Amino acid sequence: MNRTVQLMSTTAIALGLLTAAMILLLPSTAGAQEPPDGQDVYLANCAACHQPDGLGVSGSFPPLSGNPNVQDGDYVKSVITGGLSGPIEVLGETYDGVMPPFTNLSDADIESVIAYIQADAFEAAGGDELAPGDTESGEAIFLGSRRLENAGPACVACHTAANHQSLSGYTLGPDLTDLAVRYGGADAVAAALTNPPSATMQPMFDGAPMTDQERADLAAYFDSISETQVSRSPVDILLVGGVIGMIIFFALMLLAPRSRQRGFADQLRSQR
């Protein structure tokens, strides 16, 4: 027993040192950097939905240019860090898009981008229009039979949509059949895919963004299925198939040699 205690204490000291080293190392990776440029932060994180010219997407993503709400810095910060969904009214028009919380932005990033938005000095977009998407290609991306160029995950890994109902069971993410309706059209979907709207998706696509064509194809696919009536089997095929498989595995055990089932001692006894 003493040895076990000795073992535990020795390792505990090693662990303490290692853990302390880890925690000390963690902040140092951030390092001292130059203050971020508000425009860069805006173009990388906000422009996909609110557009480079700050005019937003009608019905989905409100304009930031000329929007009186953006002058309240605390409010803008709370929206950036906490996200915003549900209908809101800006300058007499209603918008019903979904904005995820941007947990990837540092305080300095947020301050700089708020200053950029409040200055209302957005630059016109110019030539940023997406090419029209291909529905079939979009479905192939959804299913993963066409892999995303930057190796992001296929949608079907976590989502259901239209007649792709994941063996009629629960998925990690929500059903996307009416995504285009919820977002207010294919353009809004394509824009939102620049920064996937969930905290689960963001780190998965961090460093693996979808290309413009992939976003356009997916948006076209979601637009094409938005009116589909979803039908699913009342039986969870994964559950039923798995239980049948288990019964088969147990049944296969009957094929094991009798020596394994009975043990050597039993065999000796039976020979007496």
Partner 1 sequence: MSWNTILFVVAPYVAIVLAVGGTMYRTRREAFSVSSLSTQLLEHRKLFWGSFAFHWGILAILTAHFLALIMPVIFDIWNGSQMRLFILEITGFALAAWALGGMLILIYRRLTSKRVQVVTTKMDVVVLVLVLAQIVTGMWIALGYRFGSFWGTNVFVPYVWSLITLRPRPELVAPLPFVLQLHASLFWAFLIAFPFSRLVHIVTLPLPYLVRPWQKVVWVRRDREFVAKEKKDRASAGIG
Residues forming contacts to partner 1 in the complex (CB under 8 A) are 3-4, 7-8, 10-11, 14-15, 18-19, 22-23, 26, 29, 103, 143-147, 151-154, 156-158, 164, 166-167, 169-172, 198-200, 203-204, 236-239, 241-246, 248-250, 253, 256, 259-266, 268
Question: Which of residues 65 and 146 has its CB atom nearest to partner 1 in the complex?
Answer: 146
Question: Which of residues 32 and 265 has its CB atom nearest to partner 1 in the complex?
Answer: 265
**Shortest CB 205 distance to partner 1, Å:** 9
CB 129 within 8 A of CB 123: no
**Shortest CB 192 distance to partner 1, Å:** 17
Question: Which of residues 38 and 152 has its CB atom nearest to partner 1 in the complex?
Answer: 152
HSE-CB at 188 with a 13 A cutoff on CA atoms is 23
Q: Angle at Cα 234 formed by Cα 183 and Cα 140, nearest 5°?
A: 45
Q: And the tokens for 83?
A: 């996200």
- Strand pairing of 88-90 and 84-85? unpaired
**Shortest CB 76 distance to partner 1, Å:** 23
**Shortest CB 20 distance to partner 1, Å:** 10
Question: Which of residues 115 and 238 has its CB atom nearest to partner 1 in the complex?
Answer: 238
Q: How far apart are CA 238 and CA 5, in angstroms?
A: 46
**Shortest CB 38 distance to partner 1, Å:** 24
Question: Which of residues 88 and 204 has its CB atom nearest to partner 1 in the complex?
Answer: 204
3-state secondary structure 33-70: CCCCCHHHHHHHHCHHHHCCCCCCECCCECCCCCCHHH
